Structure formats: C-alpha cells, structure tokens
Structure 1
C-alpha cells in the first residue's frame, strides 16, 4: 500500500518547525527517522494531512553528558540516531544501560536511521528506550510556538502510542539521569526472533549501601502492558549480599510476575509472559547487583 496524500514541510530550524506545527495542528505529524511512522503511513494506519520533516534540524543531532554539580545526565537530541547513542563513548561510560538496551532495538539497519527520541515519542508499549527513560526517572523536553516545557517520563506516556505532547509540540530532547552511588543496571529481553519486538523485556537498577548490601531495586517492563511498567522490588532483596545465591532474587521475580497484568495476544499468553517476567527479572537483578559491586564511588 501507499500513504494517502499529504502536504510536505521541511523546516530548516527548530523555530521554523514549531511555527509550521502551530499552523497545521492538529493535522500534522513529525517525521524524524521514520522507522515507525513510514510503515504506518504506507498501511494507512496514520493519515496526517501534513508531514513535517525535521531532518534538517542538525542542531538537534547531539548526544552529550551534562554535569550539574555532580549530578550527571545523558541528554539526547531529537535527531540523534539510535546508533549515535549506542556508540557514543561518553554516554556509554556514564550510563552503560543505554547501549545494552539499544542493542536489542530492531536491527542495525533500523538503528542507523531511527532516532531514540522519536522512539520515545512514538510510545510503543514494546519500545525499549521509553522504558529505560521511565526506569531512570528521566524527562522529555517539548517545544512549541508557545514556549518550552519539561515533562517527567512517568507523565509523558499516557497509553499505547499516546503521549501528553500537544499536537503543536515538537519533542526536542530527552534526559536520562545517571544513577548515583554504587548502582548497577541490566537489560534483558526475549523475542521470537532476533530483532523482533520483545515478548517480555526487563530493565533493572540495583543500588548497594556502604556495606555492599542491597538497599534498593527497581525494574521496568515492556510488552507487559499499555505503557512501560515500573515496579519497586526492594522488599524481597533488601539487605542481600549481591554475591550470595539467596532466594531473594527469585522472590523478586515472583513478586514482579504477580504485580504485572499482561494481555494474551497472538505471540504469547498472559501466563507465559508472567513466567518470562519472573525468570528475566531474577537474571537481570543478579547481573545488576554484580555490576554494582564493581562501581567505584
């Protein structure tokens, strides 16, 4: 199939882009990497009257690590491709979770064109990067002709492929806070084939105290509900020695499976997804805890 007709706009600056969006709203859609939008256009699942191509906005093609008084944040601009983030040495040194999660996003060909910010703005329930942003308590910056505002990740995604962005707003960047202290992270997922959407994906964060025992554990899940689901799993593993083979990790997995409420679909039953969540959570927590012991503070 081919897309229905639309007016094509190709602004050269952010200011021009938001002016165009203000003019055509709510009938406009933003095109960045296009790895999600173009197939939807071709299948006529989306039929905007106006397409605003932001690929000339090279001022937004950045990945940087900000340091605000010791509080570090990886900031990704709207035109940074997945591969730019994946291979950025400074971003990887500050936040290894980004590269680990990005390597499960589709295939290298898709990552060469798709954008990290566009993936988050697309708000697919199976999207890894929106889940990473939610796990870390990140933020989204939106700009319009009315001004700029920042939205917490927890408030940005409101449903499957739905966000709190207004039709005339352009998502210009996202910020991933770097966990403080002796903290380890991990991402793991299972898909039917390499590059497919995950049947279940989980990212975790484990923080250790001065005695090298667990003081906090948190997990986020994809393909397990309409939006990325963040769970606090501290209770079963609090005080645990990361090097010990205690039952706390498995207990945390069982707790996650009990709290999650996935749906049946053509790929897996809800029960199978819960079982995957339990197993993958345990694995990821063990890995993140081990990594936390290796963090220099």
Structure 2
C-alpha cells in the first residue's frame, strides 16, 4: 500500500483550493478512480472528496430546461420523476449503467469528466447539445469531449453540472458488455428544435462521435426505416477482444434503429 491524503471538501471553492495539493485527484463516486488506484494505474498524493457537497447534487426541471448537478448519482438520474417526463431517454440510459452498486455510487459528473470511450453519458450530452458547467465556465458538449479519456477541462477546473433543453423526442440503445455493462456500441438519437443529433459511444476509435450521415437521413424522416442502407465505415471503429471494427460498425447501425424506435415510443 502507498499513503494518500484524504480531504472532504466543504464547497466547490474549497475543492478547487485542495486540488492544488500535490498530485490531487477529485473523488465523487470513485467508480473509475478507485479501481485505477488498486491496479496502480493512478497514484494520486491527495484525494479531494466532493460527494458530500450538497450544491452539486440534484435534478432541476424548469419548463424545457433540465439541469443536473455533477454529484447526482446514476440511480437518482434514473429515478427522477420530473426528468422521466422531460427526457425519458436519459432516465432509461442511467438505469442501465453497471449494476445497482455502481448506480448508487457513480455520478454523472464523474462519468463526463472521465470520458471513457464506452461510457453512456457522453453520447447523451453530445446528442442533447448539452452545456457542461464547471466552476470556471460553460462548455458545449461538442467542444468538451476531445478524445479517448480526454476533455477540455483545464487544471483546477471542476465539472459542477450539466444543462440542456429537453428534446421533442429522444431514445438510447446500447449493446452492453455482459460483464461491465459498458457499451460495446451505444447510440443516442434526439430530435429537437435545432434538428436531429445522433451520437455514438463504445465504438469510435477516438471516443464518442456524431454520425452526420444518420442525422441527415433522420432529418428527412425521424423513423427507423430511414436508416436502411446506411453503412458506417469500419476504419473509424475500435477493435478489441469483444468486437471487431466491422462488427461494431454493424452494431452502431442496429442500435441507431433501436434508439429511434424507442424515441418514437
């Protein structure tokens, strides 16, 4: 074992200050950081726990505007009644993350900040054209996710929440890894006042991405058959022991149709 200094932040400002201590890392649900520390893939000198900061938790729905605090657990996102009416696709997504233990500890802010290429929330944020709110600024999702495990976050910057306009229709479908429940391929499709957006997770070689080809087809007719004949290039897909690039390319097409079907009820 190696020593680590544990700090429980009392506020976002306090957390930002504590982050300046050595090689400090934020801790909320710890679903990614703790396993990384166990395998020595991460060895921070300090842990700054933000899970008890009340201002960072909760879901607010005001008209069509949805705001979710970064420390809100997957379980709380999945079971929020107001959110289920405003954007049922997002509550459905949250209800299928990991297992009950993960859903009760993991948080939306942690998932977004980590930007795992197989995580569910990044696809939702991109498709919903969400705004990622930090302690220093607001960043559009299209500019926030920059690559595998990479985001636009700067040193000392903390994700405090997300905000988006509830879409007219939205749906999410994924083919999960049977063990981890991460997406081998997942598609979030949303239709809003600014058009159709389709985001893919679990399959892209560079992480979450939008499918312009699918968006163009669905803009003409937001129905699953509109995607017939669309084939994505395997050259942009990742390959591993779970699925080849070619298999993932096909899965994305299948999941996209299921997502649109779900969006249409």
Normalised TM-score (structure 1)? 0.81
- CA shift digits 1:54-100 (9 cap, x unpaired): 12212212111134xxxx22211122111111111111111111111
Aligned pair partner of 1:31 in 27, 34, 40: 27
Go from structure 1 to structure 2 and tell me whether the alpha carbon gap of 1:286 and 1:161 turns closer, same or farther (over 3 Å shift).
same
Q: CA RMSD in A?
A: 2.2
- CA shift digits 1:154-203 (9 cap, x unpaired): 11122221211122112111113212xxx321111112416521211111
Aligned pair partner of 2:227 in 249, 255, 258: 249
Q: How many residues align?
A: 263
Aligned pair partner of 1:185 in 170, 190, 211: 170
Which structure would you say has the larger Rg? 1
1:7 aligns with 2:39: no
- CA shift digits 1:210-259 (9 cap, x unpaired): xxxxx9543111111222111232433454485xx8x52313xx24x238
Aligned pair partner of 2:216 in 228, 235, 238: 235
Using the alignment, how far apart are the partners of 1:260 and 1:175 within structure 2? 33
Query: Residues 223 and 262 of structure 1 are in contact (CA less than 8 Å); yes or no, is this contact kept in structure 2?
Result: no
Using the alignment, how far apart are the partners of 2:239 and 2:222 within structure 1? 37
Query: Residues 131 and 139 of structure 2 are in contact (CA less than 8 Å); yes or no, is this contact kept in structure 1?
Result: yes
Q: Which residue of 2 aligns with 1:203?
A: 188
Aligned pair partner of 2:70 in 78, 82, 104: 78
Q: Which residue of 2 aligns with 1:150?
A: 138
Using the alignment, how far apart are the partners of 1:164 and 1:239 within structure 2? 33
Which contiguous aligned blocks of 4+ residues in structure 1 show a shift greater than 4 angstroms? none
Normalised TM-score (structure 2)? 0.90
Unmatched segments (≥5 aa) in structure 1? 209-214, 292-297
Go from structure 1 to structure 2 and tell me whether the alpha carbon gap of 1:162 and 1:241 turns closer, same or farther (over 3 Å shift).
closer
Query: Residues 224 and 260 of structure 1 are in contact (CA less than 8 Å); yes or no, is this contact kept in structure 2?
Result: no
